[in-house]
Amino acid sequence: MTVLVINSGSSSIKYQLFKGALALAGGVVERIGEPKSRFVHRLFQNRQTIDEAVFEQPISDHGEGMSQVFTALVESGCLQHKADLLGIGHRVVHGGEAFKEPTLINDQVLAKIAEIIPLAPLHNPANLKGIQVALEIYPDVPQVAVFDTAFHQTLPPSIFHYPLPHSWYKTHHIRRYGFHGTSHHYISKQAAAYLKQPLETLNLITLHLGNGASATAIKAGKSIDTSMGMTPLEGLMMGTRCGDIDPSLPLYLTQVLGKSPEDLNSLLNRESGLKGICGANDMRQVHALAKAGDPLASLAIEMYCYRIKKYIGAYYAVLGRLDVLIFTGGIGENDAMIRNSVCAELAHLGIVIDHKKNQTASHDIFAIQGEAGAVTVLVIPTDEELEIAQQTLDLIQNQKCLGAYS
Ligand code: ADP
């Protein structure tokens, strides 16, 4: 029942090894291809790190990085034989319209993921590379692609289309795809299990607030609207990404300030959001600046919360009835002040926070709604790796039942 989860980036490989729902080991290979690569391998017990090894030596490419991961897993006793590994689950950022669920990887699937590269030029090539090197090392282990976009493939046409010439959808695949799907899906299932109610009976708004941030409206277990769009730039204000802005602004910046497409890409993705307003993109740092009296840091926090509140209002209207509001991601899970500001003055929607419960510090799910609130408000630690491991396991076991594997 051992499953390895791999999240391969352009210069990094993150991984976690699971036995059932239990994470045994994990780590990251960073700065691949640079003179000073770094490899951190950790062993876990009861979700705590019990051992950590750090290696600093050049790692020339993803193939070498992946080999070192497998060697570390064997040498630390997590894997004895190749046959111990039931499957490998790969995070793939963009599945376009081709992938609506986790998919067993074969040559056609690899070709299709490569076809989607124009939609995610930074992410999909790196994800593909991770799959290719894992296939070289473990050719006999079934490998599964789990897509960030898949959960949002249930969006109806009136929501996924942009009000742009329809032919662009046909010829250039321009539409809303949405991201963070694995996280939104995972926390919605966690909420249903916590509340002991079938997910299909619940209307939820899920807020994933990390460096990237997105909101999703979920009805009957399906994503019916989500704030990120064709790319992860749309929607909420983020650490360094602007989120929703006037679509004429890039044109203005080009014509009036002479910015190139590359400048714009960098400005809107890496120099905007919290960082654009107050110079810091880490929310802890933004709070520290605000506390020290920096008015721009206070403005950034106010803008950040206002924009989340606006999406809650919009999704409330779309859902008609709201049962559960969920906070997750580094900020959603840890930042009581942000949760409080987001929910302030939403009593007319049935959203009321209990200030004491909101101060809870926990690595488990906790509820923070006050007695006067009709909406259950939950803080749920997300675990995208575990969700990928479970989806991988489910798919491989189903395939085995169908006789696809001996
Ligand atoms: P990523 O999207 O890269 O996975 P995370 O989900 O880890 O990011 O979220 C990173 C954000 O969470 C940062 O803005 C960080 O400041 C914030 N964060 C993490 N821990 C805390 C905390 N204890 N209090 C407030 N913010 C926190």
Distance CA 306, CA 312 (A): 10
Query: Does 329 contact ligand 1 (Cβ within 6 A)?
Result: yes
Domain assignment of residue 45, yes or no:
yes
Distance CA 331, CA 20 (A): 28
- CB distance 50 to 44 below 8 Å: yes
Nearest CA to ligand 1 atom 19: 330
Tell me, what's the pLDDT at 90? Answer: 98
Query: Does 334 contact ligand 1 (Cβ within 6 A)?
Result: yes
Tell me, what's the pLDDT at 47? Answer: 82
Q: Is 31 a known ligand-binding residue? A: no
Task: Determine the atom of ligand 1 nearest the C-alpha atom of 284.
Answer: 16
Name the pLDDT band for 284 (thresholds 50, 70, 90). Answer: very high
Instruction: Calculate mean pLDDT across residues 110-126.
Output: 91
What are the tens digits of pLDDT across the range 324-376?
999 999 999 999 999 999 999 999 999 999 999 999 998 899 999 999 999 99
What are the tens digits of pLDDT across the range 69-109?
999 999 999 988 767 899 999 999 999 999 999 999 999 99
Query: Does 335 contact ligand 1 (Cβ within 6 A)?
Result: yes
Domain assignment of residue 246, given as a range: 197-384
Could you give the number of structural domains in the chain?
2
CA 248 to chain CA centroid, Å, is 28
Looking at 147, 176, 206, the residue that finishes a domain is 147
Catalytic residue among 148, 225, 323, 335: 148
Nearest CA to ligand 1 atom 4: 210
Name the pLDDT band for 406 (thresholds 50, 70, 90). Answer: very low
Pocket probe mutation, ligand 1, options 228, 237, 331, max atoms within 8 Å of Cβ:
331
**CA dist 226 → 116, 216, 310 (Å):** 20, 4, 13
Q: What is the CATH number of the domain that holds 247?
A: 3.30.420.40
Nearest-CA neighbor of 143 among 372, 389, 349? 389
Query: Does 332 contact ligand 1 (Cβ within 6 A)?
Result: no
Task: Determine the atom of ligand 1 nearest the C-alpha atom of 338.
Answer: 25
Q: Are residues 222 and 137 in the same domain?
A: no
Q: Are residues 103 and 225 in the same domain?
A: no
Domain assignment of residue 275, yes or no:
yes
148 is catalytic: yes
Is the pLDDT reported for residue 120 higher than 70? yes
Domain assignment of residue 192, yes or no:
no
Nearest CA to ligand 1 atom 12: 330
Name the pLDDT band for 252 (thresholds 50, 70, 90). Answer: very high
